[in-house]
């Protein structure tokens, strides 16, 4: 009978003993989220491995376009971050590589350069540009929500780590929002002042429709 597997999952979720003291709330990915994050895994079943993440040991998937490999350790990958307001990521920038203009919805970001040279820029609400070439060991903080980008500023690969003041900071990349989406060309033109030909060229390149 079909109901057994469902009930089995159900019982795991609603087992009756919850530890009296909550020092942490490791994410339980089998249930929906609340505005404050995922449900807590039963503390009795939590082990140190819930607080460890090894996925940042290596670079992320390659992007042919930008010569950058991004790899994230957000709460959706790393359950120990749930409810703790922190996350991180790594970026491997090949020579000539860049992370295009983007924002994180409201999270502050700290960049730490681990290898090579990175040119980092951000722009504030008064259209003032903050531009800096960072070397190994340098750190830079980007105030929350501002548009920013990184480019490899040297002749060798660069590696940087980014730390965020949110367990799920989001990454909104401008070029993808505009040219990989189905936002109609005429609305893009009207709200960015870009030429229609430019928009269509980039949509063709990135895969956007309409």
Residues 28-57 close enough to bind its own copies by CB under 8 A: 28-42, 47-49, 51-54, 56-57
Distance CA 93, CA 41 (A): 36
Q: How far is the CB of 64 from its own copies (least distance, A)?
A: 13
Q: Which residues pair with 33 in a beta bridge?
A: 38
For the segment 72-101, give every residue that binds its own copies (CB under 8 A). 73-74, 76-78, 80-86, 88, 98-101
Residue linked to tokens 């996925």: 55
The CA angle 19-24-27, to the nearest 5 degrees, is: 95
Q: Kindly tell me which of 20 and 61 has the beta carbon lying closer to its own copies.
A: 20
Computed from CA positions of residues 189, 194, 196, 199, in that sequence, does the dihedral angle turn out positive or negative? negative
Site string for its own copies, 99-138 (x = CB under 8 A): xxx-xxxxxx-x-x-x----x-x-xxxxxxxxxx-xxxxx
5 binding its own copies? (CB under 8 A)? no
- Among the listed residues 63, 154, 174, 200, the single contact to its own copies using CB under 8 A: 174
Residue 187, helix vs strand vs coil: helix
16 sits in the region (left: phi over 0; alpha: psi -120 to 50; else beta) called: alpha
In the chain the first and final C-alpha atoms are separated, in Å, by: 47
Q: How far is the CB of 105 from its own copies (least distance, A)?
A: 3
- Among the listed residues 16, 61, 64, 155, the single contact to its own copies using CB under 8 A: 16
| Sequence ranges of the binding site for Mn(2+) | 102, 104, 109, 148
């Amino acid at each position: 009978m079909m109901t057994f597997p469902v009930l089995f999952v159900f019982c795991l979720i609603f087992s009756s003993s919850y530890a009296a003291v909550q020092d942490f709330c490791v994410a339980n990915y089998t249930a929906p989220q609340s505005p404050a994050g995922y449900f807590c895994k039963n503390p009795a079943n939590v082990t140190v491995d819930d607080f460890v993440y090894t996925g940042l040991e290596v670079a992320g998937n390659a992007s042919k376009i930008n010569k950058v490999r991004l790899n994230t350790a957000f709460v959706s990958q790393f359950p120990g971050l749930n409810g703790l307001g922190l996350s991180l990521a790594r970026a491997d920038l090949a020579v000539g590589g860049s992370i295009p203009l983007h924002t994180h919805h409201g999270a502050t970001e700290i960049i730490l350069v681990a290898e090579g040279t990175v040119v980092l820029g951000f722009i504030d609400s008064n259209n003032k540009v903050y531009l800096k070439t960072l070397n190994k060991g340098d750190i830079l903080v980007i105030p929350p929500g501002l548009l920013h980008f990184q480019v490899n500023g040297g002749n060798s690969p660069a590696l940087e780590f980014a730390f965020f003041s949110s367990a799920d900071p989001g990454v909104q990349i401008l070029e993808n929002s505009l040219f990989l989406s189905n936002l109609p060309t005429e609305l893009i033109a009207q709200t960015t002042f870009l030429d229609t030909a430019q928009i269509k060229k980039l949509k063709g390149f990135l895969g956007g429709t309409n």
